[in-house]
């Protein structure tokens, strides 16, 4: 049995609010220290040695994952002006190929002309270890494309412009920008975002084609360190919206899309804890807001008086409004009820409404790509844990749907599995929703269960299909999602009840789900998984109830919460205070200290654990899982494996390229299956 590397503990005490803590692995933060890289490489070597015996299983998993998908796949074409746009994947290639076909007005899609490849990500990625296409926007005249590229995983992008008629990249090249890019409707202006030292998009700049980028104009800046800036074009193409959002507060400005050199107009000045987002519709603005509406409401305002909001769709206790999509004759209101998303269709002319019916008891649905403002057809997406991702075109007048495509999954029969919604009582009496899929033949048996969770930022954890998880199902492993507090799966209040001083509800919810799966005879063993903030969840629950779980995977986990939230020099720390609390305040400090995984490692037996890190990760620094691994090695008892794997050519999203992603999933699954005993 190979011996694990032991990181040297260096004396380092930290005093906050008169409380002194020991942080013996703080030295790992120094990226330039050769000992840091040497330690991480030693951990990688140890991991490779420990998993060598499962190499054939990894190959088996990888091969079946590839065999299950259509490696030559294509998206459903989207009509935009005189073109059909789509992307496709080519067998043997890692990245997407972006294509279009000309289409005469009024002609059906099957009469479109020859394909034109206008951007091949594989060509852009040649010679790189990492590649990520950030954003891609086509000029309204359909002759130029602007796009952003990240070649390191640090999420600092470079902006390029390509001539679609010749395929040549223009001289325009703008370094060190955020991923978003947007053409204005004047045809010559290109808007993009600059990042500050904390990796926060804080400025909007305008570039005019044919000019040197050094002459670009900054048109907006947000100096508040808690706010992120974003840009979007309304579907009507009338306005560019410049949005500043913190975790709990919003402020949006309107810019005439046809005259981007004109003055900005603020929709409504920011007010602490008031969130809103605007969409343009006719002579009005539709405002989705929580002002005097805890579960959100939709207000209407005049374009000429954007801050005077009038009632339109009231707040309701049993429904949380998530979005409103505006078309000329229709509104699509996205709402959440009973931990499920509903798409409500509202006819503008008479205000009548209906909900698009969904076939499964547990599902995920979303509004798809709908560039046309004047349409009678809505494209939406649908999936469940037992139904592959599907694209529908919905006739808004006839209320009928046409399936345009369902993700091909070879060798999988949806009838072979059963999808269920369970409800588990948390310690305080709240009902936690759980989505579960298992083979029909396994119903009534106690089987190993893969249980995942997230529980932060009000993010929903959709009950969606995964072709890779079929590898678990076919081996008799159930797959479950715990929709814990901190997410918004049950609405806005569900989020509020799992953040700041109520953060520990996230962890007690997850533990309650684990207990229930065992007590109800569903789970004989439990493998748990979480990434990023979900990795924090995994770290917290294994500290609290290690005996409940058999194997745990924490992917780029946010586990050094207290030290990170105390360090304002780190990217995103100040922004995150409204989510986790500011530990410079005593009450927040004490709460975070009570659950932060790195701070709460104990001398106890832990489940088999796999920690994953990204060297260039700007969101959760590589040293967080590294420090946790080092502390666990010296404190934890028992003989279960503890593995740390650092990707030196990847960031927060892990290795780039679809084949590398499948290899990573096969690696994780093999570790889990081996730890579960087969």
**For residue 184, which phi and psi values (nearest 5 degrees)?**
-80, 165
Buried b (16+ CB within 10 A) or exposed e, 330-340: bbbbbbbeebb
Reply yes or no on whether the pLDDT at 106 is more than 80: no
Confidence of residue 105 (pLDDT cuts 50, 70, 90): confident
Question: pLDDT digit string (tens) for 375-429?
Answer: 999 999 999 999 999 999 999 999 999 999 999 999 999 999 999 999 999 999 9
Q: What is the CATH number of the domain that holds 243?
A: 2.130.10.120
| CA neighbours closer than 13 Å in the CB half-sphere of residue 631 | 24
Report the candidate in 274, 408, 401, 394 with the shortest Cα–Cα distance to residue 327.
394
Q: Which residues span the domain enclosing 176?
A: 130-266
What's the confidence (pLDDT) of residue 571?
Answer: 82
- Asked if residue 7 is part of any domain, the answer here is no
Closest CA to 670 of 50, 22, 231: 50
pLDDT at residue number 1: 83
Mean pLDDT of 460-473: 97
Name the E strands within 517-607: 523-531, 551-555
Question: pLDDT digits over 187-203, tens only?
Answer: 999 999 999 999 999 99
Going by C-alpha positions, the residue among 256, 271, 248 that lies closest to residue 581 is 248
pLDDT in tens, 573-609: 999 999 999 999 999 999 999 999 999 999 999 999 9
| 281 noted as active-site residue | no
Question: Strands of 551-555's sheet, edge to edge?
Answer: 417-425, 431-439, 478-482, 447-453, 523-531, 551-555, 608-614, 642-647
Sequence-ordered list of residues with C-beta below 8 angstroms from that of 305, at least 6 positions apart, any chain: none
With 60 as the cut, is the pLDDT of residue 647 above it? Answer: yes
Domain count, the chain: 1
| Short-list 220, 232, 243, 140, CA closest to 188 | 140
The DSSP annotation for 49-66 comes to HHTGGGHHHHHHHHHHHH
**Complete DSSP assignment for 99-160:** EEEE--TT--GGG----EEEEEHHHHTTT-S--EEEEEEE-TTSSEEEEEEESSSSS-EEEE
Closest CA to 192 of 165, 172, 210, 164: 172
Average pLDDT over residues 9-33: 97
Which region, left, alpha or beta, applies to residue 124 given φ > 0 means left and ψ of -120 to 50 means alpha? alpha
Look at residue 355 and tell me whether its pLDDT is greater than 80. yes
Residue 252 within a domain? yes
> What are the φ/ψ torsions at residue 551 (nearest 5 degrees)?
-155, 145
Model-wide pTM > 0.85 = yes
- How far apart are the C-alpha atoms of 563 and 210, rounded to whole Å? 47
pLDDT of 309 > 90? The answer is: yes
Sequence-ordered list of residues with C-beta below 8 angstroms from that of 251, at least 6 positions apart, any chain: 227, 243, 244, 245, 266, 267, 268, 269, 270
The pLDDT, as a whole number, for residue 110 is 84
CA atoms of 32 and 41, how far apart (whole Å): 14
Domain for residue 423, yes or no? no
Of 179, 652, 674, 675, which one is the catalytic site residue?
A: 652
Catalytic residue among 435, 617, 647, 656: 617
pLDDT of residue 572: 82
The predicted pLDDT at position 678 comes to 56
Mean pLDDT, all residues of the chain: 97
Is residue 207 in a domain? yes
In a domain, 73, yes or no: no
CA distance 33 to 13: 20
Mean pLDDT of 140-156: 97
Question: Is 149 within the bounds of a domain?
Answer: yes
Our answer to whether residue 532 is catalytic in this structure is yes
**pLDDT band at residue 308 under the 50/70/90 scheme:** very high
- 384 DSSP β-pair partners: 387
Asked if residue 215 is part of any domain, the answer here is: yes
Average pLDDT over residues 314-334: 97
Catalytic-labelled residue, pool 390, 532, 621, 675: 532
Alpha-helical segments (H) within 69-193:
121-124
The pLDDT of residue 485 is 98
Any domain includes 370: no
Give the mean pLDDT of 224-229: 96
675 is catalytic: no
In angstroms, the CA 322 to CA 143 distance is: 35
The answer to whether residue 668 scores a pLDDT higher than 80 is yes
User: Mean of the pLDDT values across residues 212-217?
Assistant: 96
pLDDT of residue 66: 97
Helix axes 586-595 and 504-519, enclosed angle (nearest 10): 30
pLDDT of 35 above 90: yes
CB 149, CB 132: distance < 8 Å:
yes
65 close to 665: Cβ distance less than 8 angstroms = yes
Q: Which residue has the tokens 């507060």?
A: 249
- The percent of residues above 70 in pLDDT, for the chain, comes to 100
């Amino acid at each position: 049995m190979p011996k694990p590397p032991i990181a040297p503990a260096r004396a380092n005490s930290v005093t906050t609010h008169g409380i002194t803590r020991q942080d013996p692995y703080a030295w790992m933060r120094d990226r330039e220290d050769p000992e840091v890289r040497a330690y991480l490489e030693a951990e990688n070597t140890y991991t490779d040695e420990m998993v060598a015996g499962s190499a054939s299983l990894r190959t088996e998993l990888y091969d079946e994952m590839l065999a299950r998908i259509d490696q030559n796949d294509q998206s459903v074409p989207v009509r935009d002006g005189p073109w059909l746009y789509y992307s496709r994947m080519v067998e043997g290639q890692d990245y997407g190929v972006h294509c279009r076909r000309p289409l005469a007005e009024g002609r059906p899609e099957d009469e479109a002309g020859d394909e034109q490849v206008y951007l091949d990500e594989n060509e852009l990625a040649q010679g790189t270890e990492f590649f990520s296409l950030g954003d891609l926007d086509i000029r309204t005249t359909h002759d130029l494309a602007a796009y952003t590229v990240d070649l390191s995983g640090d999420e600092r992008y470079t902006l390029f412009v390509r001539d679609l008629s010749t395929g040549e990249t223009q001289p325009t090249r703008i370094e060190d920008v955020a991923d978003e890019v947007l053409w204005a409707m004047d045809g010559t202006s290109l808007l993009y975002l600059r990042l500050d030292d904390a990796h926060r998009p804080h400025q909007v700049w305008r570039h005019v084609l044919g000019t040197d980028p050094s002459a670009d104009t900054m048109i907006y800046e947000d100096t508040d360190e808690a706010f992120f800036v974003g840009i979007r074009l309304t579907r009507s193409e009338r306005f560019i919206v410049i949005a500043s959002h913190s975790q709990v507060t919003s402020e949006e400005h309107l810019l005439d899309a046809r005259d981007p050199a004109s003055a900005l107009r603020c929709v409504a000045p920011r007010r602490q804890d008031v969130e809103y987002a605007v969409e343009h519709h006719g002579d009005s603005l539709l405002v989705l807001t929580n002002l005097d509406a805890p579960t959100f409401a939709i207000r209407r305002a005049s374009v000429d008086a954007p801050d005077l909001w009038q009632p339109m769709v009231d707040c309701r206790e049993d429904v949380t409004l998530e979005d409103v999509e505006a078309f000329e004759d229709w509104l699509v209101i996205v709402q959440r009820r009973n931990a499920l998303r509903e798409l409500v269709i509202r006819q503008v002319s008479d205000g009548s409404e209906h909900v698009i019916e969904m076939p499964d008891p547990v599902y995920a649905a979303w509004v798809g790509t709908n560039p046309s403002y004047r349409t009678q057809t809505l494209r939406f997406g649908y999936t469940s844990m037992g139904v592959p991702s599907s694209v529908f075109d919905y006739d808004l007048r006839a209320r009928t749907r046409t399936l345009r495509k369902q993700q091909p999954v070879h060798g999988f029969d949806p009838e072979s599995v059963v999808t269920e919604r369970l409800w588990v009582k948390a310690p305080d009496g709240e009902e936690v929703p759980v989505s579960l899929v298992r083979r029909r033949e396994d119903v009534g048996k106690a089987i190993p269960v893969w249980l995942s969770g997230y529980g932060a930022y009000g993010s929903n954890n959709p009950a969606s299909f995964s072709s890779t998880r079929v590898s678990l199902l076919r081996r008799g492993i159930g797959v479950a999602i715990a929709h814990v507090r901190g997410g918004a799966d049950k609405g806005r209040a569900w989020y509020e009840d799992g953040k700041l001083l109520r953060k520990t509800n996230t962890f007690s919810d997850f533990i309650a789900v684990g207990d229930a799966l065992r007590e109800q005879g569903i789970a004989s063993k439990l493998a748990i998984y979480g990434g990023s903030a979900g990795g924090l969840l995994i770290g917290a629950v294994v500290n609290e109830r290690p005996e409940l779980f058999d194997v745990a995977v924490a992917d780029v986990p946010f586990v050094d919460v207290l030290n990170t939230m105390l360090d304002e020099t780190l990217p995103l720390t100040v922004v995150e205070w409204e989510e986790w609390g500011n530990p410079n305040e005593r009450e927040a400090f004490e709460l975070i200290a009570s659950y932060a995984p790195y701070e709460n490692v104990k001398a106890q037996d832990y489940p088999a654990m796999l920690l994953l890190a990204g060297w260039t990760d700007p969101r959760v620094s590589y040293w967080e899982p590294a420090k946790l691994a080092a502390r666990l090695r010296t404190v934890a008892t028992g003989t279960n494996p503890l593995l740390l794997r650092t990707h030196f050519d990847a960031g927060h999203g892990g290795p780039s390229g679809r084949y590398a992603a499948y290899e990573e999933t096969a690696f994780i699954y093999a570790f889990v299956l081996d730890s579960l005993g087969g």
